[in-house]
Amino acid sequence: NLEVRSTRPFYHLTPPTGWMNDPNGMVFFKGEYHIFYQHNPDDIVWGPMHWRHAISSDLFHWKDQGIKIEPDEIGTIFSGSAVVDWQNTSGFQTGDEEVLVAMFTHAGNLQVQSLAYSNDRGRTWEKYDNNPVLSKVGDFRDPKVFFYSPEQKWIQVIAAGDRIQIYSSLNMVDWVFESDFGPGIGYTNGVWECPDLFPLKSEDGTEKWIMIVSVGGTSEYSGVNGGSATQYFVGDFDGNKFTHENDEILWADYGIDNYAGITWSDIPNEDGRRIFIGWMNNWHYAGLIPATEWRGAMTVPRQLGLKKNSDNEYFMTFEPVEELLGVAGKNETYNEAVQEINIEDNEIIQSGSFKIKTQINLSNNSFFELKIYNSREEVLLKYDKNQAVFSIDRSFSGNTHVHNLFVKTIKCDYAIKDNILPLEILLDQSSIEVFVNNGEKVMTALIFPRYEFNDLKITGSGGSELIQGLELVSIKKTVD
Ligand code: FRU
Could you give phi then psi for residue 36, rounded to 5 degrees?
-120, 170
Q: Where is the domain boundary, 320, 345, 368?
A: 320
Dist CA 113 CA 109 (whole Å):
13
Tell me which residues have their CB closer than 6 angstroms to ligand 1: 21-22, 38, 49, 78-79, 105, 141-142, 193-194, 260
Nearest atom, ligand 1, residue 159 CA: 9
Q: 308 and 339: one domain?
A: no
Domain of 228 in residue numbering reads as: 18-320
Nearest atom, ligand 1, residue 142 CA: 10
Return the amino acid letter for 313: E
Pocket test for ligand 1, best of 37, 77, 141 (most atoms within 8 A of CB): 141
The tens digit of pLDDT for each residue in 19-73 reads 999 999 999 999 999 999 999 999 999 999 999 999 999 999 999 999 999 999 9
Q: Where is the domain boundary, 298, 320, 342?
A: 320
Residue 2 has pLDDT above 50, yes or no: no
Q: How confident is the model at residue 262 (pLDDT cuts 50, 70, 90)?
A: very high
CA dihedral for 169, 172, 176, 181, sign (positive or negative): positive
The pLDDT > 90 percentage for the chain reads: 97
Residue 1 has pLDDT above 50, yes or no: no
| Ligand 1 midpoint to CA 406 (Å) | 23
Dist CA 10 CA 428 (whole Å):
6
**Beta carbons within 8 Å of 164's beta carbon, 6+ residues apart:** 157, 158, 180, 181, 182, 192, 195, 211, 213, 242
Residue 8 lies in a domain: no
| Ligand 1 midpoint to CA 21 (Å) | 8
72 has catalytic annotation:
no
**Closest residue CA from atom 8 of ligand 1:** 193
The tens digit of pLDDT for each residue in 245-260 reads 999 999 999 999 999 9
Q: 188 and 53: one domain?
A: yes
Dist CA 444 CA 428 (whole Å):
11
The CA dihedral of 74, 77, 83, 88, to the nearest 10 degrees, is 20
Q: Residue 362 sits in a domain of what CATH number?
A: 2.60.120.560
The tens digit of pLDDT for each residue in 123-139 reads 999 999 999 999 999 99
The pLDDT value recorded for residue 8 is 96
Q: How confident is the model at residue 217 (pLDDT cuts 50, 70, 90)?
A: confident
Residue 178 lies in a domain: yes
Residue 480 lies in a domain: no
- Which helix (H) or strand (E) element contains residue 275? strand 275-279
The pLDDT value recorded for residue 480 is 65
| Ligand 1 midpoint to CA 19 (Å) | 13
**Complex prediction ipTM:** 0.99
Give SS3 for 326: helix
Q: Where is the domain boundary, 320, 340, 375?
A: 320
Q: 355 and 452: one domain?
A: yes
Average of pLDDT values for 395-414? 96
Beta carbons of 85 and 38 less than 8 angstroms apart: no
Residue 9 lies in a domain: no
Nearest atom, ligand 1, residue 283 CA: 7
Residue 328 lies in a domain: yes
Q: Residue 266 sits in a domain of what CATH number?
A: 2.115.10.20
Nearest atom, ligand 1, residue 107 CA: 10
| Ligand 1 midpoint to CA 240 (Å) | 25
Q: 273 and 372: one domain?
A: no
Beta carbons of 21 and 45 less than 8 angstroms apart: no
The pLDDT value recorded for residue 16 is 97
**Closest residue CA from atom 9 of ligand 1:** 193
| Ligand 1 midpoint to CA 389 (Å) | 32
Q: 168 and 267: one domain?
A: yes
Q: Per the structure, how many domains does the chain have?
A: 2
Q: 133 and 259: one domain?
A: yes
